[in-house]
Structure 1
Amino acid sequence: MRLRTVLATLTAGLAAATCLTAAGPASANSTGDNACSPAVSIDRFSDALDKTTYQGTFVGNFSALAVDRDGSLAALEDRSSLFGLDPRTLRPASAVHLADEKGADLDSEGLVIDRDGTRLITSETEPSVRRYSRDGRILDRLPVPSSLLVAPAGRATSNQTFEGLTLLPGGRTLLASMEYAISGDSAGIVRFQTWRRHHGRFELAAQYAYRTDAGLGVPEVQATPDGRLLVLERGFTAGVGNTVRLYLADPRHVTDTSGIENLTGQADVHLIKKTLLTDIATCPSLGATAKQPQPNPLLDNIEGMTITGHDRAGRLRVLLVSDDNQNPAQTTRFYYLRVRTS
């Protein structure tokens, strides 16, 4: 979702966007001492792609990341393009335009690369989950519960639906996270919808509930190797800046909420339990600068996340990216984290 901010409109900042001529971290520090919390540290960040273009296409607006089968990095922008990036330099190597069945652009937010190389991509305006070939052809469209559709067809608000998408270990269960609550549910309780693979197709399965911190939404969710979830929570306050927190959540032993019309904090509904890993504002700034007020100049509108591997100590290597909304007062920034989940 493109967060509304009190910022200057797009002017000369876009005109200055040029093709990427160099890539690499804007700040690099791999000492292992850059602790954000006991569970999370940051190695470095990179602004290499900020306000750049690739073959005439603006590079930015990133809403999701995934590691492709060949080891390259896939970066989804919310204005209907999917980029292939070099995992070391971030240099773009490809760009594929995406569209719906009528040829219209998507508000593309969530990304999973399936085991056969197909792309599962959400759009938050309907919402929808579609399967695409590597070259951008629609292969399939997954069913969505009527209650999660945008009003008046359902109870969701446009641009507040499927933001996160992840495939659970084993590859049989797909999970999408709503960004905000649907009408009739208490504020802060968001629904996580799952699908189970059956004879090669994903069919509707259980639904779970997750409570965000006050005023925050869920822009991304990623499954860890043990079946738990990394959940990003994010918000924005004009004149103050972004709030971005990383949680570890456990979707096991919780209530299937697919048959519950209204979630209002019922005692017999077991929500997904979560544990705070870090508030990104507590990370060392590493020399980063911000173009607008921020609690920490390292912060921006962080929206995408993927797990790229693990280090020798067993910590997950987690890559985050911010959505600059194609706005001169925001930055496309990649964040390289190490996350301990045990």
Structure 2
Amino acid sequence: MSKRNRSRRRAAGFDDSASGRLSQYVTALGRNDRLDYWSANGFSDGTGTSEPIAFGGLSSTAYNRKLGQYVSAMDNHGTDVARLWLLGNDLDKAAPTGSIVLTDENGTPYNGETTDDEGLGVLPNGDFLLTSEGHPNAAEGEHEQPKIRIFGIDGRQKDELPVPELFDINCRGQAVHNKSLEALTVSPSGHEIVVGNEYALKNDSPSGKDIATTARRALVYRDDVKGAKGQWKLVKQVAFKAADVNMGITEFAAIGEDGFLVLERSWDQTHGYGIKLAYAHGIAAAPDVSDVASLSKSADSSFLPVTELADFGGKLTLGAQFKPNAQYMDANPLLDNFEDLVITHADDNGRLDLSLLTDNNFDTTETTRIVNVQIDRSVFVADPSNGDGQQHGATIQRPSGAGLGGSTVRLAHTGAAVTAVFMLAAVTLTSGLVLIAGRRLRISRE
């Protein structure tokens, strides 16, 4: 979602430390602006084009085990073809290595006037899931249908998931242009997809005519409802609350089958960007709100429990600077248009690392930036079920630095303690597990 015409003054009194504590749960590990070089200079992908391709607009990032690389969806940009950027196998050394052009079933490329790609996930077979908010240049009042499309690893569309009419824009839908399907994550097992609306549906606000409410809806899909893989079904809608009415939901990252991290972003002319990280859980036990006409009068029990993990709006800058061509304001120069959230590391020492990436809107005053943070895993609630009636732990997966291996950390309640099962696996953030070896440790629960 583009932000323009900002007025900024020089910020002062901020902490320029290379790392620091953001909250009791989250520590900032550092900042990486390597990708901003290509945002300024473009990228030549070796296809024989005479001019570099405009690089930027990183709307969502995921790891693809089949490719051995992180992949990032490009936001719409004029008539440029829609594509996925390949960023290498280590975000600390991120650089574009190529791209995948996205086409319809007939091989005709989508472009910035026909799709508005935002959320990205990877299925176990390497296929890509992408949400589109609708028609980028839709006229006021025009009917739009947000999409969840499935693309092969070659970029050609293979299928799409059903989206309820309630999430359409105008007509009978209640979503708002450029504020619809934005967040997407695939569970570690590869059997569950959760897709979130950026802002509220109009019918969920007290007035029924605007989006002035914290209520947010997410769509939950599963492919193993009847025991058959590949048969994606919309099984429920769940509700949760944003930090405030101005916070848009820009990305999810699955923590097992039953919970997910939530990246929230706000922007206004006076205060600039606000960025928060939260954790929502309880998908399996949550009521299905599909038939709830309005969430405005729903009890708290209708919403997923949410824990705020960190507010990035403090004084910690990680040494970030405003760009020389920007007009400054009294805001933290670290904050920009963060839209991406990807788990990069989880190991048997209790470590869970994330990277947050920015969509620079192809704007020279904004920075394509990566911020790395670490989360204390004690905040996560044990995963009661993956939806098949069996008990499972809260599973976290990550790719290795080389993209060839990984680790899974599974937490499951055992009486008054927590049993942690640590398994080395050839896995990715969004793929299924290939168990190689395992060992079990017992950790006391506070």
Q: TM-score range by the shorter chain?
A: 0.7 to 0.9
Letter in 1 for 2:97: A
| Richer in strand (by share) | 1
Q: What is the RMSD of the two structures over their aligned residues, measured on CA atoms?
A: 2.1
Q: Which runs of 5+ in 1 are unaligned?
A: 9-26
Q: String of CA shifts for 1:218-264, please: whole Å, max 9, x gaps.
A: 01111113632100111001132100000011133322101111111
Q: Does residue 172 of the first structure (1) align with residue 191 of the second (2)?
A: yes
User: 1:71–1:141: structure 2 CA closer, same or farther, 3 Å change rule?
Assistant: same
What is residue 313 of structure 1 aligned with on the other side? Answer: 349
How do residues 1-342 of structure 1 correspond to structure 2 at under 5 angstroms?
2-7=1-6, 29=18, 34-50=20-36, 51=39, 52-55=41-44, 56-69=52-65, 70-79=67-76, 80-88=82-90, 89-100=93-104, 103-105=109-111, 106-125=115-134, 126-186=145-205, 187-198=213-224, 199=228, 200-214=230-244, 215-225=246-256, 227-252=258-283, 253-267=285-299, 269-282=301-314, 284-291=316-323, 292-293=328-329, 295-311=331-347, 313-342=349-378
What is residue 16 of structure 1 aligned with on the other side? Answer: none
Q: Which structure has the larger Rg?
A: 2
User: 1:153–1:226: structure 2 CA closer, same or farther, 3 Å change rule?
Assistant: closer
Distance in 2 of aligned mates of 1:283 and 1:232: 19
Contact 1:242–1:294, Cα closer than 8 Å, also in 2 = no
- 1:189 deviation in Å? 0.8
Contact 1:161–1:179, Cα closer than 8 Å, also in 2 = yes
Q: Number of matched residues?
A: 320
Q: String of CA shifts for 1:27-85, please: whole Å, max 9, x gaps.
A: 995xxx62111211111111111124222222211110101105421111112220111
Runs of 4+ in 1 over 6 A off after TM superposition: none
Q: Which runs of 5+ in 2 are unaligned?
A: 8-15, 45-51, 77-81, 135-144, 206-212, 379-446
Letter in 2 for 1:191: R
User: 1:156–1:97: structure 2 CA closer, same or farther, 3 Å change rule?
Assistant: same
Distance in 1 of aligned mates of 2:195 and 2:361: 22
- Which shifted more, 270-279 or 67-76? 67-76
- 1:283 deviation in Å? 6.4
Letter in 2 for 1:289: Q
Percent identity (aligned) = 31
* 2:232 alignment partner, SS class: strand
Distance in 1 of aligned mates of 2:264 and 2:330: 16
Distance in 2 of aligned mates of 1:294 and 1:134: 44
Distance in 1 of aligned mates of 2:33 and 2:300: 46
Contact 1:121–1:131, Cα closer than 8 Å, also in 2 = yes
User: 1:269–1:147: structure 2 CA closer, same or farther, 3 Å change rule?
Assistant: farther
Q: String of CA shifts for 1:264-311, please: whole Å, max 9, x gaps.
A: 132275201111110012362121112443632111110011111225
